[in-house]
Amino acid sequence: MHFSPSPATFSSRSVSSSGPRFTQRSFVKSNSFNKSHSFSKTNSNVRHASVHHEPHIKHVTNINKSVVKTIAPSRGPAAGKLTFAKLPLFKSSTGKANLVGRLSVPTGLKPKLTLAHIPNANFKLRLAPFVQRQWRKAYFWVAIAGVGYLTVPELYYDRFYRCARVEDPDYEQCISVLSYAALEEEEVYRVRTPMPSTASYRYTAKVEPTVEARQTCSFEPFVERQWNRSFVWVQIPQTGNVTVPEDYYEQFTSKLGSEPPNYPGACKVLVEAAAADTVATTSPDLDSTL
């Protein structure tokens, strides 16, 4: 690319296209060291403006640290220590690093999809973990009446669209799609924590999951899983030591208490729990979901 050696002919277009190495060379050839301050200011403004052209890079809202502390209290080396006052309940692990924040809604946002059908109260609560959720990979914005703006991973968008495109969206299925997306993303970074010798099982299942049940929903991601909230230990034959959040325990065991045990349903409970467990909140109206 060619440009005039005169500093007065610099344009924002030539600056933004040059790159760092080209800019340095330009300073020498044009003998315009005395203009470096104005050049840097112009270049800074151009870089700032270019951020708005990136479709999937959004500014992240600062996380309210006081709220995060209620989700994942820092326990240091004592994390996971048995609480004798509430046997066999375990406190949450130190998992702040695994929490993702809420994104700011971009100015002038044009969502990829808008759903005018308002979900019922139960669905609103279960959709909350995906409102302005930050994902590690590319995502799209989806507007839902009565809920707000959801973010949907690009890799899961087709599946989400199939359950949402109808006149009366299948929000149950849409929540499952987003929950599995969150679990898959979190599983890449998860570290197993063996069951402590001081722990005891809150529940022991008597029947192992069938092959069909294992194929429908696997308990593997929840074997020796640490949570950002208090949890209990559950033993499932031919599966391992599964951890279950305290606030999801009754819902989980109600599925296992049926005859025969509803293992796919119990597993689905944990999938949704994991999606809510990995997101931080910056808004009081979302606290009840975490």
Give me the pLDDT at residue 30, please: 41
Domains identified in the chain, total number: 1
What's the pLDDT at 191?
Answer: 79
H or E element, residue 23: helix 12-30
pLDDT of residue 262: 96
Residue 212 is predicted with a pLDDT of 94
Is 22 domain-assigned?
yes
Q: Is 147 helix (H, G, I), strand (E, B) or coil?
A: coil
Is 34 a member of any domain?
yes
pTM: 0.63
Residue 44 belongs to what domain range? Answer: 7-53
Please tell me the predicted confidence (pLDDT) of residue 192. 86
Asked whether residue 48 is assigned to any structural domain, the reply reads yes
Instruction: Look up tokens 């992240």; give the residue.
Output: 60
**Pairwise CA distance, residues 71 & 280, whole Å:** 8
**Mean pLDDT of each 10-residue bin along the chain, 290 residues long:** 45 42 41 44 42 41 39 40 43 52 90 94 94 93 96 96 93 96 87 90 94 94 93 95 95 93 96 89 42
The answer to whether residue 115 sits within a structural domain is no
Q: Phi-psi bin for 31: left (phi > 0), alpha (psi -120 to 50), beta?
A: left
Task: Label the pairing between strands 201-204 and 148-153.
Answer: unpaired
Q: Looking at the domain assignment, is residue 91 inside a domain? A: no
Whole-angstrom CA distances from 199 to 196, 222, 233 are 5, 17, 8
Any domain includes 16:
yes
Please report whether residue 43 resides in a domain. yes
Does residue 49 belong to any structural domain of this protein?
yes
